[in-house]
Amino acid sequence: MLPFRFASPAIVNAFCVVVCVASLIATPTAARPQYGGTLRVSAHASIRSLDPGAAITDRSEAVLSARMRPLVFETLVEVDAAGGLRPVLAESWESDAAGARWRFRLRPGVTLHDGSPLEAWKIAAALRTTATAWTVSTDGEAVVVEPARPERDLAWALADPRHAIAVRRSAAELVGSGPFRIDRLESGRALLKAHDAYWAGRPFVDSVQVDFQRSPRVQLADFESGRADIVELQPSDVRRVTERGLRVAATRSIDLLVLVFESNRAEAASEPARRLFAGALDRSTIASVLLQGRAEPARSLLPSWLSGYSPELVASTVPRPTRTTVMALPAAQRTLTLRVDPADAVAHSIADRIAEDAREVGFTVTVQAPTGLAPRPDVRLVRAALASTSPDRSLLQLGAELGSRTLSAATPGPVLTAGASLDTVVRFERAVLGGFVVIPVVRMPELFGVGDAVDISEGEAVDPTGRWNFANLWIRSSTRARP
Amino acid sequence: MVVLSFAAVGIHGRDSFAPVRGLVTIGAFLLCSTALAQPSSTFRDLLPDLADKIASTLGASARASLAPTSDEQSARDVERDLATLLTARGLRIATDAASPSIAVSCGENLRERACVAEIRRGEVRDIVSATKALPVHHAHDGDVARAVAIEATPLFAQRARILDVLTIDERLVVLDTAGVAVYRRANDEWQPIASRAIEPPRIWPRDVRGRLRLAGSALEALLPGVVCRTTPALTNFACTDEREPWPLAVENAGLDSLRNTFQTPEGTPFFSAASLDPAAGARTVIVDLTHSLVLMDESRTPVATIGTADDVASVAAPCRSGAYIVTSAGMPGTSADALRLWRLESRTAIQAATPVTVPGRVMALWSTAGARIATAIVRDTDGDRYAAFQIRISCNR
Amino acid sequence: MTLRTRLFALVGAVVALTDILVTATVASSARRAFAAVDDQRTAVLVTQVRREFVSEGEQVAQRLERVASSDEVVRLAADLGRSKTNAAAYVGAAAPLAASQGLDFLDLVSEQGTIISSAHAPARFGYRHPWLPPGATSMPESESVFLQRVEFPNDVALGVVATRSIPAGDGRILLVGGRRLDERFLKTLVLPAGTRVLLYRDVEPEITHRQLVDASGVVADVQPFEPLIARVRQTRQDARAQIAGSSDTESVAAVPLAGPDGAVRGVLLVASSGRELASLVNRIRWSGLLFGALGLVVGCGLSYIVAARVTRPVEELADAARAVAAGRWDVQVHADESSGEVGALARAFRTMTEQLADQRDRLVQAERVAAWRELARRLAHELKNPLFPLRITVDNLTRAKSLTPAEFDEVFEESVGTLTTGLANLNAVIGRFSDFARMPMPQIADLSPNDVAQRAVKLFHAQLASGERPPIHLTMDLDPSVGRIEADGEQLGRALTNLLVNAIDAMPQGGELTIRTRRANGGVRFEVSDTGQGLTEEERQRLFTPYYTTKQHGTGLGLAIVQSVVADHHGRIWVDSEPGRGTTFHIELNRT
C-alpha cells in the first residue's frame, strides 16, 4: 500500500489502493488460477500440419498455423507485445557488429515432449531444415548462426514461427518444446495436451481443443452459448458480444485489405483510371461503419507504428473524382470486375462497398466471388497480414502474399531486400503505391472472443501481435465439467 | 502521429489533398512519435543528422520551405528545431511556394525512432532519413508484458468543494467555488500562502465545475460563465463574466453559466473528454450525456462506443506506449466510485489494471498537460470532505 | 340408280346435313357461350388478382409495422434520437429485421434521406436513398404502400413497398421495406385450369423477356405481349387482346399497376387459354363426325331396312314385271304378304299377273286360235291359190274327156304341167310351213357379229350388182370393236338375210341399204336400214305376226323367223319406221 502524503487520517484510512502486478482482462475480482479443463477454440481455417518446415500456400491455413505452432514448437526468441524481443529457448544472444555471426546461448533444463532434453545439436538440426540460407553450428550449449549475408535483424527473423524448433524423431514425427504437445491432429479438430514438464511451468488447462472449419456464424453461436471459449470474431459481432458482457481481445491492426490490379490493367496507360478508382474509395466509412470502427483507413501498406513514418510520405491523396471526370475515361477502363475470396465475408462486404463507391462516380463494377472457374478479374481485393516487426521484412512478406509479380510490375525502380534502410523502404513503398496498381483500403485487427469462463493469470489471451497466450489461461471450476 | 504537410482531413474523414503542383516545392513532414503527447525532444537527437542530409541534398545556401499542416505542438516543435538546424547549415528557410519544399515525418516503429524527410524539387523527390534503434530490451524469464497499475496519490483535502488543483513547481493551487488558494509544502503538509475570492460571489450551477490553466506565466481559473485571471502568486486577480474554451481534448465554447456540460462545435454535448494516442484508432474520447464513452476521429465524428463512464481523462504509461485512459464510474451496490484504467487499441478498450476504489464520488477528473497524470477530485460523503488525487500509471519494478 | 341406293343416299344426305347443321350450330353456340364465360371468368380473375395485390400490399404494410414496433427498432430509434450515437453501429440492423418478417428489402433511412442500414443492398449505407427526390433534404412523410423499382445488387426488381415513419428523438427514422413482386406472388394465386397470370415489371427502359414472368418464372417469348403491354403503359388503362402464341391463342386482359407518381410500374396480364375452346369445338366436331358417321351407319342400316322393306317388294315386283315382260307369266311375288301400299301393289301385281297370265293364256289361246285361224286362213289362202288352178285343170281334164285325143293330149299335157307346177307350189308352201315349224334350237358358238353380217351381205352382192333392178347402194357400217358374241351363226345369218331381203324388197325403186353393227348395253346391236316406203303404224304392230306380209308374194314368215331367232338368243328386236322415209330393224343380242 502506497503511503498517503496527506495529513487527514480519514482519507488515508478510507483510501484503498489495489496494485495489480499483472493486467487482467477478467472482472475486477482477482482470483487464484485453477488447473484443469479443456480450452475450446474455434477457427474457420484448418491445418494439416504444424511442421515448421511445411510449405503452406493457403493464407488462412498459414495464419492459423502461425497461431497454433508456437503452442507446440517454440522459437529461440519471440516478439513481445511491446515489439521487443523476448528470450524463449535462447536465454541470451549476441552478434558481431555487422550481424554476420550470431551466437544464441540456450536455456538450460528444457524438456521436449518426449521427455528428452533439448540440446544444441537438436536445435541446430531443426534450424538447418527451416533456414537453408544460414550456416548453423553448435558451440557447446550455444547455437551459432552465420547468415549468407550479414543481417543485423537476424534475431528478429528467428522470432518467426517458421523457424520454430521442431526436433525430428522420425520421418513423420516431430517433437517440440512448447507448453502443449500434439495429441491428435485430424481434419476437423486438433487436440493439444499440456506438457507437464514445460520449462516455464505446466499450463493451467489440461488440453486445448481447436475445432477447424467453423464458419463465423457457427463460431459466434458457439461462443454465445458457451460451447466455445475462444472464437474468431467479425467486426460486426463485437458490439453484440460486448453488449452481452462478453470480452473481446484484439491484436494490432495487422490485417491489411488491399486492392491489386491484374497485370492486364496494370499498364501505364490505365493509370488515370486506377487513380480515379482509388479516389472513389471511402475508406473512413468502410472502417467506421462497415467494420464498426474496428478498422482504420489505410493509405499506406505499412502502418505508422510499423514503418515509423507517416502514410502521407508514400501515398498520394486523391480527391474524390466527379462523374464527369470518370465518364471521360474510355468505357473499357471504366468497367471493372472485382474479385474477392468467397470464403471471406468481411472482404466481400468491403468489396461490395468499394463497388458501390465506384459506381457512385461512374465506374461499372461487378463483384465476383467465384467458387469455381470464373473469367479473369480486373482487380482483386486481397487480405494480407503483417507478420514481421520490421518495415523491410513486412513489405517483403506483403509482396509475397500479394504476388511478387504484382509488386515487381508496380515497382520498376527500387529493389527491396531484407535489411534495407528506411530510405529504401520509403522509396519502395512509394514506388509500389505510386502507380495505383496496389491500393491499400483498410487495416484491421484480428478479433477474438474470450468466453466468460476463461480467465488469465498473466498477459492477455491474445497479445497485440496475435500470439495465443494459452499457457496462462485457466478455466473457472464452475464450468469445468465439459466434454 | 503528426504530419506537417499536405494531408488535410476533410469531411467525414475522407482525406482531401490540396496539391501544390507545377511549382518547385518541397513539403516538410514531421513524424512525431506514436505517443501523441510525446514532446519534440523525443526526436531532437535525430534532427541534426537529418538536417545534415537535407543540406547535403539541397546544397549550401539553398532555399527551402517547410509546410506544416498539423497544429500539434510537438509537430511545431520539430519544425522549429529543424528550421534552426537547417539555417545553421546555411539553408535559407523561405515561405514562398516556389522554393523546394521539405516534408518531415518523425515517428517510432518497433525497432527504431526515425525522422524521414521528403525533399521535393519539381517532380524530383528525394528521401533522406535519420534513425536511431530503440534499446532492445530482453525481458526476464517469466515476464510476459510490463504490467501497469493505477497509482492514486492523494494531494489535498478540504471541506470546501474542490474544483481543480494544479501543481506549479513546489506549490499547489486549489480552485474551489469560493476562490483560488495557493499552498506551499512545508513539514509534510500544505500551508496556505495566498488566496483570492471570486468577487462578486456568483450563484453556481448545482454541479459546478472549474478548471485551472497555466498559460505561460498567467494562471486562469475557468468556471461556468466566469474566467478569473491572475498569476501563480495570485497577483492581479480579476474575474470577468465570459466564456472561454476550456483546455479539453475537444474544441468547445466553454461552460455555460447554468450548465455542467460542454459542446463540440457540431453541437454534441459532453461531460468530459480526453485526447488519445493514435494507437487507439481515434483522436479523442468523450463522455456524452448518456454517459457513453464515445471515440471520435479527427473530424469529431463518432466512430465507436466503448463503454460507459462518468468522467474520462488520458494518462500515459511511462513504461510502454499506447493509448491509456482513466475513467470514473460508480461501483454497484456502493456509494463509492472506482477508477479504471483502459488501454485503447484499434478502437477497442481493454481493461489494463485492477480498478481502484476511491473513498467517495469522483466529482472531477482532469487530464493534465502532457497527459502523464490526471487529477481526480473526490467527495467523501461520509467525511463530508473533498480530496484531490494525482492519478498516474505505475509500471512494475 | 336403284331405289335402295337413292333411298340410302337420301337418308344419308339428310343425316349428314342434319349432323353438319347441328354440329355447326352447337360449335357456334359453344364458342359464344365459352367466350361469355371466359369474359366473366377473366373479370373475376382480374378482380381476384387485384384483391390479392391489395392484400399483398396490406401484408407488406403489416410486416413493416411489426418491424417498426419491434424492440430492436424502438431501441435503435431511441439511441439514434437521444444521443446522436454513431449510426454506424446499426449498419447491419436491417438484414435481420427484414429476415424476421420475410421482407425482401428493407432500408432504415435517416430523416435527411441517408441510408442507415439496408438489408438488400448492405453496401449502400451512407448514401442518399434513391427515392429521395432530387434536391430534397428530407424524405417525404407519407406512410403508404406503393409499387416501386428496387435495385438489388444483382438485378432490378419491382417491389411492393411500404413506408413507415418512427420518431427518433427530435427527428424521425423512415422504414422503407417490402417484398418483390415476382413469380412468387403469382404462385399464390389460385387459378382455374387454362388460365395463367403474367406479370410485366417495368424496371428497364425497353421491354425485354426478363421483365415478363409467370408462375414458373421468366417467360421466354415476350414479343406477342409487347403491343398490349406498350398500349397499357401508354394509356394507363385496362386493355384486352387476343394473343396467338406458338401453340395456343389466349385471350389476355391487361391491368396496369401504377406507382406513386401514377406511372405504370407493372402490368398484370390475365390470360385465358383458347385451347379449351378449341378443344371443345374440336370435340364437338369430332362428336359431330362420329355421330354423323354413326348416323350414316344407322341411316344406312335404316335405309337398308327401309329400302329392303320398300324396295325389295318393289324390286321383286320389278323383277316380276321383268319376268312377266320376259314372258314368265307364272312369276310369284312374295311382297304381297307385306302391308301397306307395297303389299297392295304386290297383290295388285299378282292379280295383274294372274290376270295377265290368264289373259295371256287366253291371248295365247286366242292367238293360238288366231294363229291357227291365221294359219288356216293363210294355209287356206296359200293352198287356195295353188289349188284353184289345180281344180280348173282337173275340170279341164274332165271336160277334155270329150275332146279329141289330140285335143285331149294337148289339154292333158297342159293340164299336167299346170298340175305339176301347182303341186310344186303346194309343196313349197308346205315346205316353208314345215321349215318354220321345224326351226331347231340354236347352236351357240363364239363368233364375230361382223363376220356374220358380212356373210349375210355377201349373199346379195351379186344381186345388187346385177343391174337388173334400180340400184341399191349398200353401206356396211361394222364397228370393229363389237367384239365377239356367243350365238348360232347360221340362224343369225338367216335372220339377217331375211331382214336384208325385206329391205331390198322394200326399195323396188332402189335406195340405200345399210347394215350396221354396234356395241350396245353390253352386247351387240345389228341394224338393217332401208330407204323404202316405210311402214305404217298398223303394219309395224303386226310386223312380226307370222304370215303377216305386206308383200304380194311371201309367206310372211320371214320376220317371224327373225323374231324366233332373236327370241332363241334372248335378244330383242324392234323396228323404227316412218312412212316415206324408210325402215330400220334393230336386233340386240347379249354377248352370252
Question: Do B178 and B131 contact (CB within 8 A), yes or no?
Answer: no
Cα C567 off chain centre by: 45
To the nearest whole angstrom, how far is the Cα of A241 from the nearest Cα of chain C? 13
Q: Which three cell numbers stand for residue B249?
A: 481534448
> Closest residue of B to A472, CA-based?
B144
Give C442's DSSP letter.
P
Place of cell 527451416: A130
Q: How far is CA B98 from CA B24, B27, B64, B95, in A?
A: 5, 11, 9, 9
Q: HEC states along A306-325? A: HHCCCHHHCCCCCCCCCHHH
Give the full edge-to-edge strand order of the sheet including A102-106.
A90-95, A102-106, A142-147, A134-139
The strand pair at C511-520 and B211-215 is best described as unpaired
Distance, in Å, from the CA atom of B239 to the CA atom of B370, rounded to the nearest integer, reads 27
pLDDT for C569 beyond 80: yes
Of the candidates B288, B301, B303, which has its C-beta nearest C83's C-beta? B288
A 304-343: CB under 8 A from B? 304-310, 312-313, 316-320
Distance, in Å, from the CA atom of A241 to the CA atom of A449, rounded to the nearest integer, reads 8
Does C86 touch chain A if contact means CB atoms closer than 8 Å?
yes
Among A126-130, A260-264, B250-254, C336-340, the minimum mean pLDDT is found in C336-340
Distance, in Å, from the CA atom of C164 to the CA atom of C61, rounded to the nearest integer, reads 8
pLDDT for C119 beyond 50: yes
Residues of C in contact with B303 (CB under 8 A): 86, 88
Better pLDDT: B135 or B377: B377
To the nearest whole angstrom, how far is the Cα of B315 from the nearest Cα of chain A? 16
Residues of A in contact with B116 (CB under 8 A): 308-309, 313, 422-423, 426
Q: Which three cell numbers stand for residue A187?
A: 481434419
Query: b/e for B224-252, b at 16 or more Cβ within 10 A?
Result: bbbbbbbebebeebebeeebbebbbbbeb
Question: Which H helix or E strand runs over B75?
Answer: helix B73-88
Residues of C in contact with B290 (CB under 8 A): 82-83
Does A389 touch chain B if contact means CB atoms closer than 8 Å?
yes
Distance, in Å, from the CA atom of C529 to the CA atom of C577, rounded to the nearest integer, reads 9
What pLDDT digit, counting tens, does each position of C397-424 carry?
Answer: 888 888 888 888 888 888 888 888 878 8
What pLDDT digit, counting tens, does each position of C27-68 carry?
Answer: 788 778 877 887 888 888 888 888 888 888 899 999 999 999
Q: What are residue C485's DSSP bridge partners?
A: C447
Chain A residues with at least one Cβ partner in C under 8 Å: 236, 239, 282, 285, 288-290, 292-293, 349, 352-353, 355-356, 360, 367
Question: Do A9 and B189 contact (CB within 8 A), yes or no?
Answer: no
Residues of B in contact with C75 (CB under 8 A): none
Q: Where are the alpha helices (DSSP H) in A328-445?
A: 331-334, 345-360, 391-402, 404-410, 422-434
Query: b/e for A369-398, b at 16 or more Cβ within 10 A?
Result: beeeeeeebbbbbbbbbbbbbbbbbbbbbb
Question: Do A460 and A469 contact (CB within 8 A), yes or no?
Answer: yes
pLDDT of residue C556: 64
Percent composition of chain C: helix, strand, coil (DSSP 3-state, to 5):
55, 20, 25
Phi (first) and psi of residue C55, to 5 degrees:
-60, -40
> Closest residue of C to B290, CA-based?
C83
The strand pair at C582-589 and C572-578 is best described as antiparallel
> Closest residue of B to C78, CA-based?
B290
Q: How far is CA B268 from CA B301, C287, C489, in A?
A: 10, 88, 146
Q: What are residue B158's DSSP bridge partners?
A: B386
Interface test with B, best of C84, C91, C114, C125 (most B CBs within 10 A): C84
Question: Do B339 and B376 contact (CB within 8 A), yes or no?
Answer: yes
Q: Which CATH architecture has domain C69-180?
A: 2-Layer Sandwich (3.30)
Residues of A in contact with C125 (CB under 8 A): 285, 289-290, 353
Better pLDDT: A454 or C221: A454
Distance, in Å, from the CA atom of B313 to the CA atom of B366, rounded to the nearest integer, reads 6
Does A29 touch chain B if contact means CB atoms closer than 8 Å?
no
pTM of the full predicted structure? 0.61
Of the candidates C87, C91, C123, which has its C-beta nearest A356's C-beta? C123
pLDDT for B27 beyond 50: no
Residues of A in contact with B13 (CB under 8 A): 283-285, 288, 297
Structural domains in chain A, CATH included, are 31-73+178-246+451-478 (3.40.190.10), 74-171 (3.40.190.10), 253-445 (3.10.105.10)
Domain ranges for chain C: 69-180, 182-273, 338-438, 445-589
Q: What are residue B192's DSSP bridge partners?
A: B183
Q: Which CATH architecture has domain C182-273?
A: 2-Layer Sandwich (3.30)
Closest CA to A402 of A371, A445, A426, A433: A433
Angle at CA of residue A463, ends A457 and A469, nearest 5°: 50
Q: Which CATH architecture has domain C338-438?
A: Orthogonal Bundle (1.10)
Domains C69-180 and C182-273 share a fold: yes
Q: Which three cell numbers stand for residue B317?
A: 504509461
SS3 at position B278 = helix
DSSP per-residue letters across A398-418: HHHHH-HHHHHHH-SS----T
Long-range contacts of A131-139 (CB under 8 A, 24+ apart): A131/A163, A139/A103
Distance, in Å, from the CA atom of A237 to the CA atom of A259, rounded to the nearest integer, reads 25
CB neighbours (10 Å) of residue C136?
Answer: 12
The strand pair at A189-194 and A207-211 is best described as antiparallel
How would residue B42 be classed by pLDDT, with cut points 50, 70 and 90? low
pLDDT for B259 beyond 70: yes
Q: How far is CA C443 from CA A342, C55, C482, C489, C491, in A?
A: 116, 108, 21, 8, 9
Q: Quote ipTM for the complex.
A: 0.76
| Contact criterion met (CB < 8 Å) for B303 and C88 | yes
Mean pLDDT along residues C551-569: 77
Question: Do A174 and A411 contact (CB within 8 A), yes or no?
Answer: no
pLDDT of residue B19: 36
Query: b/e for B46-76, b at 16 or more Cβ within 10 A?
Result: bbebbbebbbebbeeebebbbbbbbebebbb
Of the candidates A248, A293, A320, which has its C-beta nearest B303's C-beta? A293
pLDDT of residue C553: 55
Q: Which three cell numbers stand for residue C171?
A: 427527428
| Contact criterion met (CB < 8 Å) for C153 and A352 | yes
Per residue of chain A (483 residues), what is the pLDDT tens digit? Answer: 323 333 344 433 333 333 333 333 333 334 567 788 999 999 999 999 888 888 888 888 888 998 999 999 999 998 877 677 889 999 999 888 888 899 999 998 899 999 999 999 999 999 998 888 899 999 988 999 999 888 877 888 888 888 999 998 887 788 999 999 999 998 899 999 999 988 888 888 999 999 999 999 999 999 999 999 999 999 888 888 888 888 899 888 889 999 999 988 988 899 999 999 999 999 999 998 888 888 999 999 999 888 988 888 888 889 999 999 999 999 999 999 999 998 888 999 999 999 999 999 999 999 999 888 888 999 999 998 887 778 888 888 888 878 755 666 555 566 788 778 898 899 989 888 988 999 999 999 999 999 988 988 777 889 888 889 999 898 886 654 444
Does A452 touch chain B if contact means CB atoms closer than 8 Å?
no
| Contact criterion met (CB < 8 Å) for A14 and B103 | no
> Closest residue of C to A240, CA-based?
C89
Name the superfamily (CATH) of residues C445-589: Histidine kinase-like ATPase, C-terminal domain (3.30.565.10)
Chain B contact partners (≥3 CB pairs within 8 A): A, C
Residues of C in contact with A352 (CB under 8 A): 122-123, 153
Task: Please compute, for residue A30, the number of CA atoms within 13 A of its CA located in the half-sphere on the CB side.
Answer: 13
Residues of A in contact with B295 (CB under 8 A): 293
The strand pair at A379-385 and A335-340 is best described as parallel
